[in-house]
Amino acid sequence: MALQADILGIMALQGSARRAAAALCTRIIESTNADYCVLFANDGNAAGWWEVIGKSEDTDETRLAELRGALSGGNAADARSLLVTADAEDGTIARLVMARDTGPIQTSTDFVATIGHIASLLVQSFSRDQRFKRYRSVFRATADLTCLVSPDHRCVAANAGLARIVGKEIVELEGLPLDLIFGDAYGAILRPAVDAAFEGNPTTQHDWLTFACGKRLYLDIETAPKREPGGRVGTVMMRLFDITKRHQAFRALSRSEEKYRSLIESLTDFVWEVDLTGQFTFVNSASGRILGYSKAEVLGRHFVDFMIDEERQHSADAMQTLLADPRPVRGLINRMRHREGQVVTLEGTILPMRDETGELCGFRGIERDLTQSRKQQQLRRRFEAIVEATTDFISTSDTEGRIQYINRAGRELLGFADESEYIGHSLELVHPDEDHAKIREHGLVEAQRNGSWQGEVRLRRVDGSVIPVSQVILAHRGSNGAVDYYSTIMRDLSERMATEQKLQGYADDLRRVSQQLFTARENELRHLARELHDEIGQSLTALKINLDTLRLAASPNQQTMDGCIEIADTLLGQVRNLSLDLRPTMLDDLGLEASLRWFVERCHQNTGLEVVCDIAPGLGRFAAPIETACFRIIQEALTNTVRHARAGKASIVVSTKPARLLLRVEDDGHGFDVERCLQDARWGHSFGLAGMHERASLLGGALRVRSVHGKGTTIEAELPH
pLDDT of amino acid 326: 92
Helix orientation angle between 688-698 and 494-530, rounded to the nearest 10 degrees: 110
Q: Does residue 558 sit in the same domain as residue 622?
A: no
Residue 288 covered by a domain: yes
Helix (H, G, I), strand (E, B) or coil at 383: helix
Q: Does residue 62 sit in the same domain as residue 154?
A: no
Q: Is 583 in contact with 529 (CB distance < 8 Å)? A: yes
For 199-229, give one letter per residue: b (16+ CB within 10 A) or e: eeeebeeeeebebbeeeebbbbbbbebeeee
Q: Taking residues 505-509, what's their average pLDDT? A: 70
pLDDT band at 589 (very low <50, low <70, confident <90, very high): confident
C-alpha 685/C-alpha 690 separation (Å) is 10
pLDDT band at 276 (very low <50, low <70, confident <90, very high): very high
pLDDT of amino acid 64: 52
Q: What is the pLDDT of residues 340-362, one digit of tens each?
A: 999 999 999 999 999 888 899 99
Instruction: Give the bridge partners for 221, in sequence order.
Output: 205, 240
pLDDT of amino acid 259: 82
Q: What CATH number is associated with residue 480? A: 3.30.450.20
C-alpha 169/C-alpha 172 separation (Å) is 5
pLDDT band at 36 (very low <50, low <70, confident <90, very high): low
What H or E segment, with its residue span, contains residue 8?
Answer: strand 7-12
Helix (H, G, I), strand (E, B) or coil at 200: coil
pLDDT band at 716 (very low <50, low <70, confident <90, very high): very high
pLDDT of amino acid 79: 31
Residue 1 covered by a domain: no
Q: 5 pLDDT exceeds 50?
A: no
Of 344, 374, 404, which marks where a domain is finished?
374
Q: Is 114 in contact with 11 (CB distance < 8 Å)? A: yes
C-alpha 287/C-alpha 270 separation (Å) is 6
How many CB atoms are closer than 10 A to CB 304? 15
Q: Does residue 76 sit in the same domain as residue 178?
A: no
pLDDT of amino acid 293: 92
pLDDT of amino acid 568: 66
pLDDT of amino acid 95: 28
Q: What CATH number is associated with residue 673? A: 3.30.565.10
How many CB atoms are closer than 10 A to CB 173? 21
pLDDT of amino acid 83: 26
pLDDT of amino acid 11: 43
Q: Does residue 42 sit in the same domain as residue 109?
A: yes
More confident residue, 664 or 687: 664
Query: Which ranges of 465-557 would DSSP assign to H, the alpha helix?
Result: 494-530, 537-552
For 369-406, give one letter per residue: b (16+ CB within 10 A) or e: bbbeeeeeeeeeeeeeeebeeeebbbbebeeebebebb
More confident residue, 364 or 124: 364
Q: Taking residues 5-9, what's their average pLDDT? A: 39
Q: Does residue 367 sit in the same domain as residue 395?
A: no
pLDDT band at 624 (very low <50, low <70, confident <90, very high): confident
Strand arrangement of the beta sheet that strand 702-707 belongs to:
610-615, 649-657, 660-667, 713-720, 702-707
Query: Which ranges of 333-432 would DSSP assign to H, the alpha helix?
Result: 370-389, 408-414
Q: Does residue 212 sit in the same domain as residue 129?
A: no
Most confident of 276-280, 475-479, 672-676: 276-280
CB-count burial class (<10 Å; 0-12, 13-18, 19+) for 300:
exposed
Pairing of strands 155-158, 145-149: antiparallel
Lowest mean pLDDT: which of 267-276, 421-430, 534-543, 622-631? 534-543
- The percentage of the chain sitting over the pLDDT mark of 90, rounded to a whole number, equals 23
Lowest mean pLDDT: which of 179-188, 318-327, 572-581? 572-581
Q: 422 pLDDT exceeds 50?
A: yes
Q: Collect all residues with Cβ–Cβ distance below 8 Å to 655 and sequence separation of at least 6.
A: 616, 662
pLDDT of amino acid 244: 87
Q: Taking residues 592-611, what's their average pLDDT? A: 88
Residue 230 covered by a domain: yes
Q: Collect all residues with Cβ–Cβ distance below 8 Å to 129 and sequence separation of at least 6.
A: 1, 2, 3, 31, 32, 93
pLDDT of amino acid 498: 80
What H or E segment, with its residue span, contains residue 116?
Answer: helix 108-141
Q: 405 pLDDT exceeds 80?
A: yes
What H or E segment, with its residue span, contains residue 668?
Answer: none
Lowest mean pLDDT: which of 80-84, 457-461, 662-666? 80-84
Q: Does residue 577 sit in the same domain as residue 602?
A: no
Q: What are phi and psi of 87, to 5 degrees?
A: -125, 90
Q: How far does CA 230 lie from the centroid of its chain?
A: 72
Of 492, 522, 544, which marks where a domain is finished?
492
Residue 253 covered by a domain: no
Angle at 643 between CA 642 and CA 647, to 5 degrees: 45
Q: Does residue 91 sit in the same domain as residue 187?
A: no
Of 583, 610, 629, which marks where a domain is finished?
583
pLDDT of amino acid 16: 46
Residue 287 covered by a domain: yes
More confident residue, 295 or 688: 295
Helix orientation angle between 558-582 and 537-552, rounded to the nearest 10 degrees: 160
pLDDT of amino acid 586: 74
Q: Taking residues 492-496, what's their average pLDDT? A: 85
Residue 544 covered by a domain: yes
Q: Collect all residues with Cβ–Cβ distance below 8 Å to 299 and sequence separation of at least 6.
A: 280, 281, 282, 283
Lowest mean pLDDT: which of 24-33, 161-170, 246-255, 629-638? 24-33
Q: 663 pLDDT exceeds 80?
A: yes
pLDDT band at 112 (very low <50, low <70, confident <90, very high): very low
Pairing of strands 702-707, 36-42: unpaired
More confident residue, 77 or 484: 484
Helix (H, G, I), strand (E, B) or coil at 32: coil
Expressed as residue numbers, the domain containing 276 is 267-374
Name the residue among 256, 262, 303 with its Cα closest to residue 281. 303
C-alpha 433/C-alpha 444 separation (Å) is 15
Q: What is the pLDDT of residues 444-460, one digit of tens each?
A: 889 989 999 999 999 88
pLDDT of amino acid 18: 52
pLDDT band at 528 (very low <50, low <70, confident <90, very high): low
How many CB atoms are closer than 10 A to CB 95? 16
Q: What is the pLDDT of residues 136-146, one digit of tens each?
A: 554 555 567 88
Euclidean distance between the first and the last CA atom of the chain, given in angstroms as a whole number: 132
Torsion from C-alpha of 104, 109, 111, 115, nearest 10 degrees: -160
Q: 541 pLDDT exceeds 70?
A: no
**Is the sign of the CA dihedral 137, 140, 143, 147 positive or negative?**
positive
pTM of the predicted protein model: 0.35
Give the chain's mean pLDDT: 76
Longest CA–CA separation in the chain, Å: 215
Torsion from C-alpha of 474, 479, 480, 482, nearest 10 degrees: -10
C-alpha 138/C-alpha 130 separation (Å) is 13
Residue 513 covered by a domain: yes
Domain count for the chain: 6
Q: 608 pLDDT exceeds 50?
A: yes
More confident residue, 36 or 366: 366
pLDDT of amino acid 442: 87
For 569-589, give one letter per residue: b (16+ CB within 10 A) or e: eeebeebbeebbebbbbebbe
Q: 45 pLDDT exceeds 70?
A: no
Residue 384 covered by a domain: no
How many CB atoms are closer than 10 A to CB 503? 11
Q: Taking residues 61-67, what's their average pLDDT? A: 53
C-alpha 405/C-alpha 282 separation (Å) is 46
Q: Does residue 635 sit in the same domain as residue 562?
A: no
Q: Does residue 598 sit in the same domain as residue 707?
A: yes
Pairing of strands 36-42, 660-667: unpaired
C-alpha 247/C-alpha 249 separation (Å) is 5
Q: Does residue 352 sit in the same domain as residue 418?
A: no
Q: Is 457 in contact with 430 (CB distance < 8 Å)? A: no
pLDDT band at 38 (very low <50, low <70, confident <90, very high): low
Q: Does residue 292 sit in the same domain as residue 337?
A: yes
Query: Which ranges of 283-328 would DSSP assign to H, the alpha helix?
Result: 286-291, 295-298, 312-324
Q: 93 pLDDT exceeds 50?
A: no
pLDDT of amino acid 500: 79
Would you list the DSSP string of 685-705? S--HHHHHHHHHHHTT-EEEE
Q: 504 pLDDT exceeds 70?
A: yes
pLDDT of amino acid 554: 54
C-alpha 157/C-alpha 166 separation (Å) is 14
| Number of residues in the chain | 721
Q: Taking residues 273-284, what's their average pLDDT? A: 94
